[in-house]
Amino acid sequence: MLVQSLPAQEPQPEKPKQFIYVLRLVPRLHADANWTEEDKKALQRHFVRFQEAIKTGQLILAGRTSESGDKTLGIAIFQAKEEAAARKFMEEDPAVAGGLMTAELHPFTVALERKNP
């Protein structure tokens, strides 16, 4: 009996998992008049961080509703190796760390995605 050996397969790197976090403004910031200069700076750092994460490929998409007050919410869909890394990414968001927004993390899978025309 002749036994043929199969070529060794290289282990495939584990594909990053996807997560979503939902952001909501803290009640104090529902009124525009309550925003301080420090709040505005933290929000700018939040946006810059998302821009950087888009460039590196970690962030898939981010956005917010166009409603105001307590109806406002934002989302960030991103990749991380594991839930602990995803939670760290969320908690280090300047808007979350700065107390401007609360955040809730969920595992997520993009099922359909429009390709740019």
Residue 6 lies in a domain: no
Instruction: Note the pTM of the prediction, 2 decimals.
Output: 0.83
Domain hosting residue 76, numbered range: 17-28+40-108
**Tokens coding 108:** 């997520």
Residue 100 lies in a domain: yes
Residue 95 lies in a domain: yes
Amino acid code (one letter) for 95: A
| Nearest one of 64, 82, 67, 84 to 30, comparing CA atoms | 67
Tens place of pLDDT for every residue, the chain, 117 residues? 555 656 666 666 678 899 999 999 999 999 999 999 999 999 999 999 999 999 999 999 999 999 888 888 999 999 999 999 999 999 999 999 999 999 999 999 999 988 887
Within 13 Å and on the Cβ side, how many CA atoms surround 72?
18
69 phi-psi bin (left φ>0, alpha ψ -120 to 50, beta other): left
| Nearest one of 96, 84, 103, 100 to 20, comparing CA atoms | 103
Number of domains composing the chain: 1
